[in-house]
């Protein structure tokens, strides 16, 4: 009887070790995915910063006013 309990305990221990390995692998995969996504975000932010902003309501510069006067 004691050996049966011990055998069940060892089987459960092995099962828990296997489950732990699965969770550790999943955690590592998610961490790698997180790092990759952070790199993509950084690249997109850098790309966004390179795009010039267009301001439609800006006053005309002096040079533009001179061109209008000459025309």
pLDDT score at 8: 80
Percent residues over pLDDT 70 in the chain = 77
Buried b (16+ CB within 10 A) or exposed e, 5-37: eeeeeeeeeeeeeeeeeeeeeeeeeeeeeeeee
23 vs 7 pLDDT, higher one = 23
Structure confidence at residue 66 (pLDDT):
55
Terminal C-alpha separation, the chain: 106
Say if residue 54's pLDDT is above 60. yes
pLDDT of residue 12: 92
At 56, is the pLDDT very low, low, confident or very high (cuts 50, 70, 90)? confident
């Amino acid at each position: 009887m004691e050996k049966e309990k011990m055998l069940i305990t060892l089987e459960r221990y092995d099962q828990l070790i296997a489950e732990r390995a699965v969770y550790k692998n999943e955690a590592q995969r998610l961490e790698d995915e997180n790092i990759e996504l952070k790199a993509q975000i950084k690249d997109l932010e850098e790309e966004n910063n390179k795009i010039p902003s267009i301001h439609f309501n800006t006053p005309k510069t002096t040079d533009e006013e001179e061109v209008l006067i000459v025309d």
